A and B are shown apart, each in its own frame.
Chain A
Amino acid sequence: MPSIQELEKTASQIRRDIVRMVHAVNSGHPGGSLGCADFFTALYFEILEHSTDFSMDGKNEDLFFLSNGHISPVFYSALARSGYFPVSELSSFRKINTRLQGHPTTHEGLPGIRMASGSLGQGLSVAAGAAMAKKMNGDSKIVYSLHGDGELQEGQIWEAMMFAAHQKIDNLIMTVDWNGRQIDGDVEDVLSLGDLRSKFEAFGWEVIDMEGNQMQNVVDTLRFAKTKCGHGKPIAILMKTEMGQGVDYMMGTHAWHGVAPNDEQLANALDQLEETLGDY
């Protein structure tokens, strides 16, 4: 079991991977990826009961679904760094004839990916279906999903929330990356989510808060969420994060949602992020 300090070091390396991947092809989504680096690190290096010897059905394993597929850089780095595929493959991100497509896909057979995502709002339904199949199969493992806060503006999310509560899918833990920002600005200004906790509770979910950029809190909260499974309600974690976390000039703004740093900006970012596991 890695210590919190070790997890923080891994997260630092994942952040380096993110900015280097996006810089290399001058495209991709660094902001949300950086904000979720601690969550992915905790999940893949501490929480998930999983095998990196990938099988699509994931029998007797925990499953994770990324619904806001545009933060693929953090997903790919976490998968590679935890052993699903060679770390060197991160250099192929968004290039032609590769498995690391702009948004995650099963189509190219990349280990660790169980559904395509990018068109927002679809992942909670898929995760709910996968969790139902686990129950039907007598498989006691847990299904996790991650969603952007802006993504909650999609109607399908609320269909899925109603469905999961009605069906008592209590082996499902969804996390919302609540960074408060989306492409056109602050979520509050674009289309406010209002009182999210009350809305989720009214939909019949168990709701838990998380400080998504404090590793100890992320690990503790995810462990706590697991204890809430099996009690008749699906579980939602409201994860407060800072978009661009770890790179000062990317924080406090929505500007780095989908913009790559130039050479100078990359050097600046890498100065702020310790190389702990070796760059790819």
Chain B
Amino acid sequence: MAKYEYTEKKDTRSGFGAGLLEAGKRNPQVVALCADLTGSLKMDAFKDEFPDRFIQAGIAEANMMGVAAGLTIGGKIPFTGTFANFSTGRVYDQIRQSIAYSDKNVKICASHAGLTLGEDGATHQILEDIGLMKMLPGMTVINPCDYNQTKAATIAIAEFEGPVYLRFGRPKWPVFTPENQKFEIGKAITFQEGTDLTIIATGHCVWEALKAAEYLEETENISVEVINIHTIKPLDEAAILKSATKTRKVITAEEHQMNGGLGDSVAQLLARKLPTPMEMVAVNDSFGESGKPEELFEKYGLSSKSIIEKAKILLAR
């Protein structure tokens, strides 16, 4: 009997759309900008409810980021919406100077992140965005794991003062966290406790981590702790150190390059404060390609199968 079950699959971008509408209802200062991807970002509901607070920016992302920065000066809380690739790499200097260095309260909301964008292929499958954004001083970086968590995160960042990068995805994915949960920025969630091994996961890989933990417990009798780091920056160092102290073995799992991602942040922390044997499940210095999300997760080593393989390597060390 699985400890974690899901009754339906929903896309995290729809969680963003639902959260944005709710944030807009709660605070009239919330405004939204979109670069010609309103339907893809599920921003239609907000646009229909608050047409005067929705700004169509066209395919001009650099300008959109600057306009968002300017809107904050008049007290607005702007949410920008486009694909993760165009939310980060394409506009890095605009975010760096006009938003991060200028201390502007902009919420950069990025859909279609990672391999699970699928068939569109590597031009759009950004796997470097977490690294780009976490390097910016003062930037908060969040990568929720399912529909409900994405919705809660979207509502939470509207109430948080400061620039935020919120990363989510395109495919329908298991929904396994509670509806109407309270989202605490920077606070890890322990899905299950264990003593032999810690899996620290973010985004779509959290579900893979739970599947891997179930398998390891049932077939290998290994006690696995599963921690969800939805906020990559600021990192919940206390939660990670506490778990690593107990298990002395850590695997990270994420839909991102190994360089610059969650694993890299965890490794930095452990190297400084508690050197611990580690393995990382992440894309290893490679671009993606066209395919179905599940196929890409298999091929690029992000599925529960890869987590299980890394666990066995780690336990044998």
A residues at B contact (CB < 8 Å)? 56-59, 63, 105-107, 114-119, 121-134, 136-137, 139, 155-156, 159-160, 162-163, 166-167
Contact = CB atoms under 8 A, between A and B. Distances in A.
A117 B98 CA distance: 8
Interface string B255-272: 000000000000000000
A253 to B, nearest CB: 29
Interface string B60-100: 10111111111111111010000000000000011011100
B8 interface: no
A63 B73 contact: yes
B101 A126 contact: no
Nearest to A115: B102
A159 B72 CA distance: 20
B161 to A, nearest CB: 12
Interface stretch (B14-22, B50-58, B180-188, B206-214): B50-58
B62 A129 contact: no
A56 B102 CA distance: 11
Given A116-B101, A126-B69, 16 more contacts: A58-B73, A59-B74, A105-B102, A106-B103, A115-B73, A115-B102, A122-B62, A125-B94, A126-B67, A126-B98, A129-B71, A129-B73, A130-B70, A130-B71, A130-B73, A160-B63
Contacts of B60: 159, 162-163
A116 B102 contact: yes
A133 B74 contact: yes
Contacts of B53: 136
Contacts of A57: 73-75
Contacts of A123: 66
B59 to A, nearest CB: 9
A122 B101 contact: no
5 contacts: A59-B74, A132-B67, A132-B71, A133-B73, A160-B63
A121 to B, nearest CB: 8
A107 B97 CA distance: 11
Given A57-B74, A126-B69, A132-B55, A116 B97 contact: yes
A119 B70 CA distance: 16
A107 B73 contact: no
Q: Which among B55, B65, B72, B78 has the greatest number of chain A C-beta atoms within 10 A?
A: B72
Task: Report the 10 A-B pairs with minimum CB-CB distance, sorted nearest first.
Answer: A129-B70, A133-B74, A125-B66, A159-B63, A129-B67, A159-B60, A130-B70, A126-B70, A156-B62, A129-B71
Contacts of A116: 97-98, 101-102
Contacts of A129: 66-73, 78
A275 B207 CA distance: 71
Given A116-B97, A119-B97, A122-B97, A159 B70 contact: no
A136 B62 contact: no
B76 A126 contact: no
A105 B96 CA distance: 12
Interface footprint category on B: 20 to 34
A150 to B, nearest CB: 17
B66 A134 contact: no
Contacts of B72: 129, 133
Contact of B71 (A59, A124, A133): A133
B74 A139 contact: yes
A86 to B, nearest CB: 23
A159 B94 CA distance: 13
Nearest to A161: B63
B100 to A, nearest CB: 9
A133 B33 CA distance: 13
Contact of B67 (A105, A125, A134, A155): A125
Contacts of A127: 70
A190 to B, nearest CB: 21
A57 B77 CA distance: 13
A167 B142 CA distance: 32
A163 B71 CA distance: 14
A61 B49 CA distance: 30
B101 A105 contact: yes
Contacts of A56: 73
A162 to B, nearest CB: 7
Nearest to A118: B97
Contacts of A160: 63, 66-67
Contact of B62 (A117, A128, A131, A159): A159
A134 B70 CA distance: 10
Q: Which among A114, A116, A134 has the greatest number of chain B C-beta atoms within 10 A?
A: A116
Nearest to A124: B66
Nearest to A128: B67
Q: Which among B57, B63, B65, B69 has the greatest number of chain A C-beta atoms within 10 A?
A: B63
Contacts of B64: 125
Interface in B276-290: none
Contact of B98 (A59, A115, A163): A115
A162 B58 contact: yes
